Structure 1
Amino acid sequence: MKKIFFFIIPFLFYTNCLHAQDFEFGKISVEDIQIKHAKTDSNANAIVLKEFGTASIQIEDNYGYSYVDYKYHVRIKILNKNGFEHGNIQIPLWRYTDRDDEITELTACTFSPSDGIMVRTDLDNKQIFLENRSKYLNVKKFAMPNLKEGSIIEYSYTLNKKNIFNFVTWEFQSPIPKIQSEFIAMIPAIYNFNASIRGFLKLTSQNAEISRECLRIQGSKIDCSRLSYIMKDIPAFIEESYMTAATNFRSAIYFELSDVQHLNGGKNNITKTWKDVDYELKNEKSFGGQMKRKDAFKEILPEILKDQPDELSKAKAIYAYIKKNIRWNRYYGKYGENAIKKSLETHSGNIGDINLALIAALSSAGLDAEALVLSTRENGIISDLYPVISNFNYVIAKINIADKSYLLDASEPLLPFGLLPLRCMNERGRVISLTKPSYWYDIKANQKDINRYTFTGSLSSEGKITGHLITYSSGYSAFNKRKKIEEAGSAELYAEKLNEQMPGLRILHHQISNIDSLDNPLVEDYEIEMKSQYDMKAGQIYFNPFFIDKTSKNPFNLNERTYPVDLGAAKEDRVTILLKIPDNFQLADHPKNLAIALAQNGGKYLTDVSFNDGVLNFTQLFQLNKALYGPDEYLSLKELFSRMIQQQKTDVILKKAI
């Protein structure tokens, strides 16, 4: 299923639409003041009244490098207190080797109601802060002053954007609705960009024309294409659980530089063929150069591979060695930042350092290992129209043994062999081999996310329940639990925290097995004690059998979802309860047996209660058999969760025999 919906916009098109134009700063209208709710969403907490932006490529006079001159202007109405968060502004400024993005001409003010009039409060420049988010990113931050319900905030700035490759991304949709959003792109004729619109909304109007002599380079006058885009009455884009990057689905315009025409008649192709990309990556010192460094493992391989009888065992041993000896420094990257030897010596590296070292080590052992570059879930889906190296932000290893392939990421010490971090589960990636052309490869979880719970216990006539709860977890559930155990510091402290999080239930003893045996299910064995509700007067005990892995909130709340539900992996939860009931009690009522199934074997939810020979037998099965569900399946999923939540509110009622 395609997760990105877009079409290529012709570089020049002509219409009779009105030209987009900026609005006067600080001149709010009576209509702005009177707006009480958004046309597209009566429950919105804030609304963009007007939004305008322009972007053009300019040449820096002193040094001659090109940059994007981006101007942004927005006016927002705060409808209630929950909308105050939209008065906290953050503007990303990317950092490069030789220069950084810069903001100039930043102006901001708030118009707030006071005694029947709107009072203007300007932002104090001393309240503007620059946060160093990482070595690649700074963030300009400020909070709009004097916010009240009904306030109108307005700000504008000019951004000197040093990297022209992606020009500017203009997002029509945001977390709040917009009345109008307008954008103008001025692109000199010597630059050719691939422009695309993603999302499901249509432009209200668009226009293109020639702007004469908009740029001067070395005395030559260059014409520009003036491209304008307008969208009106734009609904908010609401993010929900189980989705990849919002940029895959939010309505926006994206640009990618295709080629540059030089004044002397030459041409520099930026958008390349995969043959070009293969050559570039294989010959890049920090990518292909790392993959070729088999010599880095020549001395240590014999010890790593000692007593390993076959290729799979050797691969697992090498995978375990890299996980142990190079810790992830929390930076992504498809390129290595250090030499393999340095990463091993310092026991630290980014994703490229770790997984390119893994590939080199596997190759050094005579195994068939390749690199697979991908885009993480939060980075967005990769378009296959044309290769753009910068769209890939991650690299993993692909190893081929006999007739089976395994995808490996050694950055997470608690992941078993062959299971990737959830962040990597993003449709597909491109395999880069040193010996053959690159090719696309689907990225799928090789394990289900599984939890199996078995509780065997007894109920006293006073309503106390005691027994053993045994849980078997595998896939991402086991990984997440192992991470929590590691974060807690020990299995004992993990059990203590678990005890604190479950009011009404007390863990008396615990035993957790296979914490370090990553290829096996994590096994938790708890001796527990809990109280059910006992109505002495009525002689009844109320017991909720859904106390294990209960779902209390529906993750799906939209009336319609226009983007897929992406779990990352199929899921299965099973619960079995065997509860011995006192001889003087009988089953009076219980949750009705339920069976709900999604179409085309997409999943199901089953519950069953029976009572035989003084033992209450309860089973529950919840399955989602696909990692990905389309928008057309959304309402069925929503209904499945809704009925499951309602079912889990019902109790078993045991009545004292007369």
Structure 2
Amino acid sequence: MKKLLFLLLFSNITISQNTFNTENFSVSNSDIELNTFKQDTTANALVIYEFGNAEIDKKRFNLIFNYQKKVKILNRNGFDKANVSIYLYNSGKNKEKIKNLVATTTNLENGTLRRTNLDASQVFEEKVNANYTIYKFTLPDIKEGSVITYSYTLESPFIYKFQPWYFQEDIPKLYSEYNTSIPGNYNYNIKLVGELPLKANSSQIQKRCIERSNGATADCTVSKYSMENIPAFIEEEYMTAAKNYLSRIEYELKIIKGFDGSVKNITKSWESADVELKYDDNFGKQLKKEKLVKNLIDKESLSLFTNDLDKAKYIFDFVKNNYTWNKYYRIFKDVSLKDIIEEKSGNVAEINLLLYNLLKKHNIKVYPILISTRDNGFVTKLYPVISEFNYIILRAEINGESYFLDATNPSLVFGQIPFECLNEYGREINFEDGSRWVDINLDSYTSSQYNVNININDDNTFSGTVTIIKIGYKALETKKRYRKNETDYLKYYKNTYPDCSFEDLKIEQDDSNNSTFTETFSISAPLTTIGDKIYLDPFIFKFLSKNPLQLNTRTYPVDFGYKDLLIYNIKINTNNKYKILDLPEDKSIQLVGNSGLLVFKNKKEDNLAELYFRTNFKNSIYPTSYYTELKSFFKNMVDIQNNSVFVLQKSN
């Protein structure tokens, strides 16, 4: 029995010495001695323990936030985690303050723990603007293997937005816990963002937590939230703003109930927000400027159109070709249709609201839509926060069909909006029937098709023609590049593929209202020869230099913005002077639910060889459950592109 007890104790000691201390803020021997994190070998630093507690001060009714953090520095690339910046908000005489800062670096030296404390002289405050100050400090004596700890109290008079909590950041965390105490007379909208699950999510009522001298009391809701083994949030290709997905808890004050029985609504409803927007100088009043625009377009030109769709396209072309976007958004600031008409240049709101008034003047049913761009993040649907919107597009309704419109870019076609606007949803404003959420999604595909025909020449070169057809957003990108330098457009290909020569460019359908861009040119290049064999890379044009998906795990969806189709077809004529020895191996891959397809086929017949490569992403957004499969899908795309070769031998 004693032997068994000894073994159990020894086992517990061994385990404790090989795991980080995630139980509390104190630095243990294992925190110092362990210098690897097997769950994520790419991590440069690691949050071992994080704790926060927020409550409303019972006397002054300020927000009091206490914070503790313990971080392991795994290597030199993690030294930047010793630089801490805390943003403090101030408005007028009210300001947030930091108190009770304690910061320590712990190192293992000659078998003993050595602690170095932050000196008060190493703390700085930097004014960012009229409303923000950065409280900054750098922990001392940082080395590989250091453990840094710091704690502080933040006091804020701004209780309208309760202290948010970020479970996730750019390094992994082993444990993160947030405790809150909120008096019952403060009603907050609470939003949990991200896909990571909570380990703890509990609440209980604390009776009479606040008592006033007049006998009034309030109960408090005491809550605990925690997560463990939180992966680092690393930004990667095919995503919208990081703040859409960082796992966190956010608060927005909705109602304050006074001890005298009064009720103050802080968060507006969409009904009240619509009323404010209707009378806003920079928005609602700009929707009623039909008198300003009535003589902008020649009536005789419009009379030539017998249907509303052609008329709407003409008006759209008129605005995008005659008024220039000045690169400012400013959808609720400095918006004046009078100014843009006079100056021929304006911000996003001015250009699209000018289009709105012109369409409405000529009896086209049209609505403005407030949106947030991809890099600006999603807007909350729980309650109206007008400041979260940063862009305006339109929706025209013609013959039962809807068309999203944006006139800021001359390369955009009727019914197309900029890629940055593909951010899932927006708020359509209708002052008669009330505003509503609308999905910003596309049923149509964006596609690229490459048709290559080449001949093998006697001088160990190849020559031929290339036709590239692009539709949708791929066409938009190419149109921009072409119009930027029409006279030397082929320079792009020459710089990208320096071993090849490109000549005789022909552009078809370069129409301002055509979503297709077709280019044809001739191509020639030397071949790789070894003895009497020729080695030809059939992928003359490369689509991926590497796999864009590299993470071990990804906690946010893969968002292409649109459905994407790629077709690459090359035909090789050997002119009966070469025989085809080897072709790459065919391959076919299908994503779960038939949501994506890869087809790779090769064939030879007499003196002809042909390669056909196709990828089809049938969804514009794939949830995280698809990540591993998509990562493998892209790997196959890269491998096929980089490892395919045609082997030809001179005929006798």
For normalisation by structure 1, the TM-score amounts to: 0.82
Which of 231, 235, 238 in structure 2 is aligned with 1:235? 231
| Secondary structure in 2 matching 1:200 | coil
Quote the offset at 1:71 in angstroms. 4.9
Shifted more, 350-359 versus 142-151: the winner is 142-151
Which of 577, 582, 585 in structure 1 is aligned with 2:578? 585
Instruction: From the superposition, tell whether residues 54 and 294 of structure 1 become closer, same or farther in structure 2 (CA, over 3 Å).
Output: farther
Structure 1 residue 505 corresponds to structure 2 residue 500: yes
Partner of 2:453: 456
Partner of 1:79: 74
| Secondary structure in 2 matching 1:174 | coil
Does the 8 Å CA contact 2:122/2:137 hold for their aligned counterparts? no
Partner of 2:535: 542
Does the 8 Å CA contact 1:597/1:605 hold for their aligned counterparts? yes
Instruction: From the superposition, tell whether residues 104 and 439 of structure 1 become closer, same or farther in structure 2 (CA, over 3 Å).
Output: same
> Which aligned pairs between 1:444-523 and structure 2 lie closer than 5 A?
444-445=441-442, 447-485=444-482, 489-492=484-487, 494-512=489-507, 517-523=512-518
Structure 1 residue 652 corresponds to structure 2 residue 646: yes
Does the 8 Å CA contact 1:179/1:233 hold for their aligned counterparts? yes
Partner of 2:411: 414
Instruction: From the superposition, tell whether residues 156 and 286 of structure 1 become closer, same or farther in structure 2 (CA, over 3 Å).
Output: farther
Distance 1:107 1:459 in 2: 74
Partner of 1:204: 200
Shifted more, 470-479 versus 594-603: the winner is 594-603
Partner of 2:598: 605
Distance 1:144 1:168 in 2: 24
Instruction: From the superposition, tell whether residues 60 and 285 of structure 1 become closer, same or farther in structure 2 (CA, over 3 Å).
Output: farther
Distance 1:139 1:307 in 2: 61
Query: Share of identical aligned residues, percent?
Result: 32
Partner of 1:569: 562
Shifted more, 195-204 versus 348-357: the winner is 348-357
| Secondary structure in 2 matching 1:37 | coil
Equivalent pairs counted in the alignment come to: 625
Structure 1 residue 33 corresponds to structure 2 residue 47: no
Quote the offset at 1:464 in angstroms. 1.6
Partner of 2:296: 300
Shifted more, 154-163 versus 246-255: the winner is 154-163
Distance 1:201 1:397 in 2: 38
Does the 8 Å CA contact 1:336/1:356 hold for their aligned counterparts? no
Distance 1:444 1:83 in 2: 40
> Which aligned pairs between 1:432-451 and structure 2 lie closer than 5 A?
432-445=429-442, 447-451=444-448
Instruction: From the superposition, tell whether residues 578 and 304 of structure 1 become closer, same or farther in structure 2 (CA, over 3 Å).
Output: farther
Quote the offset at 1:259 in angstroms. 1.1
Partner of 1:7: none
Which of 325, 328, 332 in structure 2 is aligned with 1:327? 325
Quote the offset at 1:546 in angstroms. 1.7
Distance 1:329 1:136 in 2: 26
1:189-240 Cα deviation digits (max 9, x unpaired): 3310122323332233645453866697999876654434333333333443
Instruction: From the superposition, tell whether residues 518 and 499 of structure 1 become closer, same or farther in structure 2 (CA, over 3 Å).
Output: farther
Distance 2:395 2:603 in 1: 49
Partner of 2:361: 364
RMSD, aligned CA: 3.9
Does the 8 Å CA contact 1:58/1:215 hold for their aligned counterparts? no
> Which aligned pairs between 1:111-150 and structure 2 lie closer than 5 A?
118=114, 120=116, 122=118, 130=126, 147-150=142-145
Q: Which amino acid aligns with 2:277?
A: L
Does the 8 Å CA contact 2:201/2:223 hold for their aligned counterparts? no
Quote the offset at 1:471 in angstroms. 1.5
Distance 2:95 2:489 in 1: 45
Partner of 1:291: 287
Partner of 2:524: 529
For normalisation by structure 2, the TM-score amounts to: 0.83
Which of 277, 281, 297 in structure 1 is aligned with 2:273? 277
Q: Which amino acid aligns with 2:287?
A: M
Partner of 1:5: none
Distance 1:200 1:657 in 2: 62
Instruction: From the superposition, tell whether residues 231 and 600 of structure 1 become closer, same or farther in structure 2 (CA, over 3 Å).
Output: closer
Ranges in structure 2 where 5+ consecutive residues have no aligned partner: 1-21
| Secondary structure in 1 matching 2:490 | helix
Shifted more, 374-383 versus 613-622: the winner is 374-383
Distance 1:231 1:581 in 2: 63
Instruction: From the superposition, tell whether residues 327 and 534 of structure 1 become closer, same or farther in structure 2 (CA, over 3 Å).
Output: same
Distance 1:345 1:267 in 2: 48
Distance 1:112 1:270 in 2: 49
Distance 1:498 1:22 in 2: 58
Instruction: From the superposition, tell whether residues 616 and 412 of structure 1 become closer, same or farther in structure 2 (CA, over 3 Å).
Output: same
Shifted more, 565-574 versus 32-41: the winner is 32-41
Q: Which amino acid aligns with 2:273?
A: V
Distance 1:298 1:60 in 2: 61
Distance 1:343 1:477 in 2: 30
| Secondary structure in 2 matching 1:481 | helix
> Which aligned pairs between 1:218-233 and structure 2 lie closer than 5 A?
224-233=220-229
Quote the offset at 1:623 in angstroms. 1.2
Quote the offset at 1:535 in angstroms. 0.5
| Secondary structure in 1 matching 2:256 | strand
Q: Which amino acid aligns with 1:602?
A: S
Shifted more, 73-82 versus 237-246: the winner is 237-246
| Secondary structure in 2 matching 1:241 | coil
| Secondary structure in 1 matching 2:77 | helix
| Secondary structure in 2 matching 1:76 | strand
Quote the offset at 1:280 in angstroms. 3.2
Quote the offset at 1:587 in angstroms. 0.5
Instruction: From the superposition, tell whether residues 427 and 585 of structure 1 become closer, same or farther in structure 2 (CA, over 3 Å).
Output: same
Quote the offset at 1:654 in angstroms. 0.6
Does the 8 Å CA contact 1:336/1:351 hold for their aligned counterparts? no
Partner of 2:9: none
Quote the offset at 1:254 in angstroms. 1.9
Quote the offset at 1:399 in angstroms. 1.0
1:18-59 Cα deviation digits (max 9, x unpaired): xxx9977xx744333223234743442210122233444579
Quote the offset at 1:400 in angstroms. 0.7
Instruction: From the superposition, tell whether residues 28 and 190 of structure 1 become closer, same or farther in structure 2 (CA, over 3 Å).
Output: same
Shifted more, 566-575 versus 603-612: the winner is 603-612
1:256-314 Cα deviation digits (max 9, x unpaired): 22212134322122344443333333233332222223233233244796566143333
Distance 2:566 2:128 in 1: 43
Distance 2:556 2:444 in 1: 24
Quote the offset at 1:624 in angstroms. 1.1
Distance 2:274 2:126 in 1: 39
Quote the offset at 1:433 in angstroms. 1.1
Quote the offset at 1:176 in angstroms. 1.6
Does the 8 Å CA contact 1:121/1:146 hold for their aligned counterparts? no
Partner of 1:171: 166
Distance 2:522 2:640 in 1: 27
Partner of 2:614: 621
Quote the offset at 1:114 in angstroms. 6.6
Quote the offset at 1:553 in angstroms. 2.2
1:463-500 Cα deviation digits (max 9, x unpaired): 322222222222111222334456xx413455324422
Q: Which amino acid aligns with 1:230?
A: S
Quote the offset at 1:444 in angstroms. 1.1
